[in-house]
Amino acid sequence: MYKIVVLIKQVPDTQNVGPDAMNADGTVNRQALPAIFNPEDLKALEMALQVKEQNPGTEITVLTMGPDRAAAIIRDSLSRGADKGVIISDMRFAGSDTLATSYALACAIKKIGHYDMVFGGRQAIDGDTAQVGPQVAEKLNLPQITYAEKLVSLKGDTITLTRRLDNGVETVEATLPVLVTVTASADDCRYPHAHRLLKYAKAAPEIWNADAIDPEMERLGLKGSPTKVKKIDNVVLAHKDAQQVEPTEAALNELVAGLMKDHIIG
């Protein structure tokens, strides 16, 4: 049996941005965006659940950094088969970039203590940076296996996984403990169990503040974040003088003939 930590994140659903997503001053109106379970983190949870299925007695702890309302994705994880959930939440984490985030998560994982595997999604849809996984791995001095697609086998302390790369698939073998980031083409997460849904509907996860994870305080939040936002620009479109073409046969014909004459199409 194994001990697994799965890193999860509640994210604004940036794929379904409504017209009220932006405030008039160009800041993001977070209230208007539905909060969802980051899709690749769900796939990471599934990989952990597959380990648990094959190795009864395995214990899965899901860990997230976020506001208290992130309890929703902890409860969701519990209903799908995770055993424990922890939120690290503190105003002192505010303004964290990926470096400060990974530091806080690494401190929390150390507090959780024993772990054979750390799983997480490759990236979160609100930033698409794919940085936190490898950064947590470095901080815990773990080897990292990124873009994992399939768990091939797990025997004793040897894990074998396939990785989905730009130009193919690689099968790698590593000795535990490892950190694994799971990519979009991995298996979808199983559905919640009905009885677990009921059981955990009101479950309150453990919430740890900054003091609880015993960090060097100057490495947290804004202070611990080397990247600064110099400015945010609203997307202003420089209007080209577009030529409007009516969707009529004559007009389209003229367009196509013109492009052919200019050798843009041959």
Partner 1 sequence: MILIYCELAENGHVADVSLELCTKGRSLANELGTQLAALVCGNGIADIEKQLYPFGVDKVFKADDRRLSPYRTLPHFAVLSKVIEENRPDIVLMGATCVGRDLAPRISSYLRCGLTADCTSLEIGSYEDKVTKKQYDKILYQIRPAFGGNIIATIVNPETRPQMATVREGVMKKEVVDANYKGTVTSLDANKYLRGEDECVKIIAREIEQQKINIKNSSIIVSGGYGMGSKENFEMLHQLAQALGGEVGATRAAVDAGFAEGDRQIGQTGVTVRPKLYIACGISGAVQHRAGMDQSGKIISINTDPEAPINAIADYTIIGDVCKVVPQLIACYNKNKK
Task: Report the nearest approach of partner 1 to the CB of residue 147 (Å).
Answer: 6
Distance CA 77, CA 203 (A): 11
Task: Report the nearest approach of partner 1 to the CB of residue 221 (Å).
Answer: 14
Contact 136, 155 (CB under 8 A): no
Tell me the three state secondary structure of residue 172.
Answer: strand
14: left (phi over 0), alpha (psi -120 to 50) or beta: alpha
Of the pair 93, 147, the CB lying nearest partner 1 is at 147
Task: Report the nearest approach of partner 1 to the CB of residue 14 (Å).
Answer: 3
Of the pair 33, 49, the CB lying nearest partner 1 is at 33
Task: Report the nearest approach of partner 1 to the CB of residue 57 (Å).
Answer: 26
Of the pair 44, 137, the CB lying nearest partner 1 is at 137
Distance CA 92, CA 7 (A): 20
Other beta carbons less than 10 A from residue 250's beta carbon: 8
Contact 118, 48 (CB under 8 A): no
Of the pair 147, 208, the CB lying nearest partner 1 is at 147
